[in-house]
Chains A and B, each alone.
Chain A
Amino acid sequence: MLDALLLQSGYNATLVTLGAMMLGVAAGVTGTFLYLRKRALMSDAMAHATLPGVGLAFLLMVAMGGDGRSLPGLLAGAGISALVGLGCVQFLTTRTRLPEDAAIGAVLSVFYGVGIVILTVIQALSIGRQAGLEAFLLGATAGMLWSDAMLIAAGGAISAGLVLLFRRPLLMVAFDPDYASVRGLLPGRADLMLMALVLAVTLTGLKVVGLILIVALLVIPAVAARMWSDRAGVVAAIAGGIGGAAGYGGAAMSASAPDLPTGPLIVLLAAAGFVVSILFGRARGVIPQALARARMRTRLAGPA
């Protein structure tokens, strides 16, 4: 275990660990903007909506005589099906005035159900070397290819970079969409950009964290970081730090104990950071606020 944490358990494992760290940073930073725009659950809908695409892409690649497990191919399928899911949520909320949370609930469960059916069919057909698709549910880094790890690290770095580049319009739209739109920053376009970045993080994290838990990596570091600062930029930086640490630690632990799925380990580490932040966070934490109240009481009770 110590070997893994110190990146001494082999070249591949090291690369996977660094990739997971990059993913965590991207998820923390992107998730901050998503949380500030109050659309955190959209990422859950998109993540679950990737599953039918993973299954169908596998079937298509096998039918074309391929291996069926090529990560870029599976991610392309996942991306297309997530976009369809996103489109469904948009359609339901704009055309039927269904509230977004209800639309998310409906789309998320239907797409996940369809995905599970397709995966079951694949297992029953026993075609190709299907074993491994379940890894997309909870994440598995064991036995990951070098090229896969590179894809994940690059995807994380690019997503995080784009969020930093577009931080100003994203923040203005999140804080005050009407004002932003008068300034020429159309909220619809900024949201589209944000959703594209969330989709990129989701796809990047599919193999590492799994589609069920990727929402945790987008939300938990962001809300934990909010406990520490009242400045959006600082919140995003701290969230990136918490996400990166969780990704690094989770992947390293999973490398030393390959039976443990990587996703839950990463999420548990992020959750530990969340608990610490809730208790001790300088801006919002429970204990600093209680101390401030106590100080105020002593001051008011003291000699006038």
Chain B
Amino acid sequence: MSVQKIYDAILELEDEEVEAAVQEAIDAGVDTSVILNEGLIGAMDEVGRLFSAGTLFVPEMLMAANVMKLGLDMIKPLLKGDNSGRGIVIIGTVAGDRHDIGKNLVSMMMEGAGFEVIDLGIDVPAEKFIEAAKEKNADLICLSALLTTTMAAMGEAVAAIKSSGLPVKTMVGGAPVGQDFANDIGADGYAPDAGEAVLLGRNLMAS
């Protein structure tokens, strides 16, 4: 089956093969939503799972995302606006924190999972998260902090988002952050890595 080829090519990190496999599927008349969901996103889910399990490593995850994006770019013109249902995610590092490697990995995997991701970058004040969530009608805000000194800013941002009354969930992560801290500051969830972040994002949006 053509979609299996797409899935395999992503997991094998083969960029040319994924392009050939997507073209083959398009030519064979496979529904684009099947190519997207079962081929491209299905493969990235497996990449995320293998990463969380410690079987795949960061550079492989980056490569897989690049390969997946090649396929995605090929089918994008063919998608009939049926890719909006997966949710809108706002992401950024909290005020005072300019460490964005972890945040970038989560952002990339969220995109790979089919979410619409609005990446606000680094050193994002609470108001900016709220503003963007309001403007985009977002479902989820992901906040990242790498420093013990910026954890306070994370707490303040989550509190501000809650008190804004927006119907948006919050997810936190980063080296010094854990489930206890997430509970303390009233975040809706904590994810230890990019693979888990995708799963948690889906759960939070479904709830």
Partners in one complex: no
Binding site for B on A (CB under 8 A): none
